[in-house]
Amino acid sequence: MSEHHYIACDLGADSGRVIFGTLREGKITLEEVHRFPNGASKINGSLRWNILRIFEELKTGLRKVAEKKVGAESMSVDTWGVDYALFNQRQPLLALPWHYRDARTDAPYAATRQRVGDAKIFEQTGIQFMPFNTLFQLIDDVERNPDLLSIADRFLNIADYLNYLFSGVACAEESLASTTQIYNPKTRGWSKELIAACNLPERIFPQIVPSGTPIGKLLPAIQEETGLNEIPVVASCSHDTGAAVTAVPAEGEGWAYLSSGTWSLVGVELPAPLINEEVCCYNFTNESGYGGTTRFLKNIVGLWLLQESRRDWIRQGMTLSFDDLDRQAEAAEPFRSLINPNAERFLKPDNMPAKIAAYCRETGQPAPETPGQVTRCIFESLALSYRQMLAQIEHLTGRTITRLHIVGGGGKSSLLNQYAANGTGRPVFTGPVEATACGNILIQALALGHIDSLEALRKTVRESFEITSYQPQGSESWAIAFERFSQFNLD
């Protein structure tokens, strides 16, 4: 009986996990060996990632794996996109990395789009315009932190930087590089035109490697500190959504995916980028997936709205689990209040229930007054947003979408899953919840030759996890709600 073991270091905006994965006779099992909280640190009015604490937590997880006395064969880190660390040969870290929700990019975002032009930026990158993309963060560094950039040898996005700390090899994994809005998916390299047009220092851009590339071995110092052997460090899909989409248990045609977590990422898998003026107008994105595929998707606000609201309620002394909120939402009045979850006001942290209430009042609706009403407003609005995104994807790609696969932590909410089916009018299939860690681990298996294709990988997922289905209900009431939702232009 063949058996292989791998380590996934899976970092999200709210928490980080070290997952021990075992591949045995065509099935994968996952064991969480270490979990820790994550989030922004506020320092002198800025939002930063405490990357050194994250590194220490990951090493704690690796020690726990070593204590199992079962030989892991490789490891890999995945994280969110866009954020990065700067370093040089003498200093392993020049400053704490900025958090993408910091407002520092608001000015360069608007100025660069006007000066360089949306058409040129999109033609070069095919990436959705969002103010926190790496392009605009680096432009802010050029304008306000030139002393820091002048001594930097490299920048690496967060997962690639952590893989560098473990292996000593500095390179950019393709799926993560594609989130920067500096990567050209047609040439599969950095956009030299944008680098020049935005006065970015070309020397800091690392080599790009395909998803699933073993980049080096665990450094001797890390081996000594953790007790692990000299195992390969693999650049799997370093972008968490790239890893999650790889693990979507779909087959055949006609399916779309929703990676549901802090963000909701709705899209389809294409064989090549789709870059044209209409795609630019709809502000869709072409991110790289495993095996040269393209994740054609829209990045929209997801459970961030509820996570921030819950933080506010906890500060007020309310003890509410997500299960509690689901139950209260189910009992609340349907379609009482709706919002455009992608309105700019909802991107920044703090006072989320107040922001939602203000939006509803400004659009002539009753403001949600209870946690249950706020949660129902968020869930119904997200489901209607999914409906809108799928219609736009069908229009832009010419494909017919017959079913939706939901992966990620949002799949734990049966209420939201049912609303997704109701709102989109399509069957919804959920699972696995740990799609990112699953994709990370199975791409390592592909890299080491233990699985032979993307199709075989997805078959492994189907045979390893329970997939739950939801059928659409209440189509007429949801269609009426969508007409109302579609009128919201308020930002």
pLDDT, one tens digit per residue, over 16-51 is 999 999 999 999 999 999 999 999 999 999 999 999
**CB of 169 closer than 8 Å to CB of 87:** no
Cα separation, 476 vs 423, in Å, equals 10
Return mean pLDDT, the chain: 96
Q: What is the pLDDT of residue 173?
A: 98
Res. 374 pLDDT band, cuts 50 70 90:
very high
* Closest to 130 measured CA to CA, from 157, 104, 109, 107: 109
Q: What is the pLDDT of residue 20?
A: 98
Using the structure block, give the residue that is written with the tokens 């000015």: 107
Task: Evaluate if residue 425 carries a pLDDT over 80.
Answer: yes
| Residues 386-409, mean pLDDT to the nearest whole number | 97
Q: Beta partners for 470?
A: 428
Confidence of residue 404 (pLDDT cuts 50, 70, 90): very high
Question: Which residue, chain included where needed, has tokens 């995945």?
Answer: 78
User: What residue ranges define each of the domains in the chain, with the CATH number in brackets?
Assistant: 3-240 (3.30.420.40), 249-431+452-491 (3.30.420.40)
Whether the predicted pLDDT of 491 surpasses 80: no
Closest of 181, 182, 163 to residue 173, by C-alpha: 163
Q: At what angle do helices 371-397 and 304-315 cross, to 10 degrees?
A: 170
Which pLDDT value is given to residue 1? 55
The H or E element containing residue 362 is helix 352-362
pLDDT digits (tens, 9 = 90+) for 101-150: 999 999 999 999 999 999 999 999 999 999 999 999 999 999 999 999 99
pLDDT of residue 473: 97
Examine the residue annotation and report whether 140 is marked as an active-site residue of this protein.
no
pLDDT tens digits, residue range 172-209?
999 999 999 999 999 999 999 999 999 999 999 999 99
Helical H segments across 285-335, by residue range: 304-315, 322-331
Active-site residue identified among 83, 141, 160, 240: 240
The single residue listed with the structure tokens 């893989």 is 163
pLDDT digits (tens, 9 = 90+) for 177-186: 999 999 999 9
User: In angstroms, how far is CA 489 from the centroid of its own chain?
Assistant: 26
Which residues, including other chains, have CB under 8 Å from residue 304's CB and lie 6 or more apart? 13, 262, 263, 346
Q: What sections of 68-133 are H helices per DSSP?
A: 106-116, 118-125
pLDDT tens-place string over residues 288-308 = 999 999 999 999 999 999 999
Query: Which residue type sits at 246?
Result: T
% of the chain beyond a pLDDT of 90: 97
The CA distance from 325 to 52, in Å, is: 34
Contact 442, 13 (CB under 8 A): no
